[in-house]
Amino acid sequence: MNLKKNTAMLAAAIVLATTLNGVKTFASINSNTALTSNQKKVLQQYQGRVDKAYNSFDDKKDSKVTNDYKSDKKVLKVQRFSGDTEDYGDYPTRKGVILVTRDSNTLGVHYGHAGIIWSASTTVESMPNGVGRYPNEWKTRYNSIKGLTTKNTTADQDAAAADWCSDQIGKPYNYNFFNINTRDKFYCSQLVWASYKDLYGMDIDPKRTIPSVIIPVDLPKQDTLDTIYARWQD
């Protein structure tokens, strides 16, 4: 095949991967060329820790979930998973709640995916086609989901973080996962992390599985965040 035809086929594959109707995971073929050989080695070095974070995402034994809250309130009391239901809490619709799933992969690795709620019916997410708004329908898009809220912010501050993410719409996807300080492009969890970093000086992902990389499945285990909703796959 000639180069032009190959390029067209690759573009079509990426568009198909970002379609929300049916495709639940995305992998960016050949996009790992954005990483240096040393960065690729680092990713390989920490693969075991990534696997552990991924596999513990649905661990009901040690997980804690806070009760959901109304629009003007933050965290209520902490409770454990009941262990016999699929959903814990009400699916979040409040602006500024962070959503994380493990049911997605990038570059063929199960890092998961993250986004932030912008309205009851809309999320802001960074997909391979860039930062955009999407329907808030994760319950039908993914099997394993967690809804997170930061511990040290108000609901209004969370809403401002969602607006910050919305202001980035149109920027391209960041395939260099180590470059978390750029604001010209974003990958999914970097986008959410950057909103709190820039607005409030907060690092919501201090316990990183991979140094200098914000991977989505890391977020639920952080002391900076509370889980207010969980849906797991048995």
- Cα-based angle 196, 145, 16 (whole degrees, multiple of 5): 90
Going edge to edge, which strands form the sheet with 87-88? Answer: 87-88, 225-231, 145-150, 98-101, 113-119, 122-127, 130-135
Q: Pick from 39, 37, 57: which is nearest to 211 by CA?
A: 39
Specify the pLDDT at position 90: 81
Specify the pLDDT at position 132: 98
Report residues of the chain scoring pLDDT below 70: 1-34, 58-86, 105-109, 233-234
Specify the pLDDT at position 228: 87
- Cα-based angle 93, 94, 95 (whole degrees, multiple of 5): 115
- The pair of structure tokens assigned to 199 is 């607005």
* Domains of the chain with bracketed CATH: 3-231 (3.90.1720.10)
Which pTM does this prediction carry? 0.77
pLDDT digits (tens, 9 = 90+) for 83-98: 544 677 788 999 999 9
Crossing angle, helix 155-166 and helix 188-200, to 10 degrees? Answer: 120
Specify the pLDDT at position 66: 58
Cα 119 to Cα 140: distance, rounded to the nearest angstrom: 17
On whether the CB atoms of residues 40 and 32 are closer than 8 A, the answer is yes
Specify the pLDDT at position 154: 92
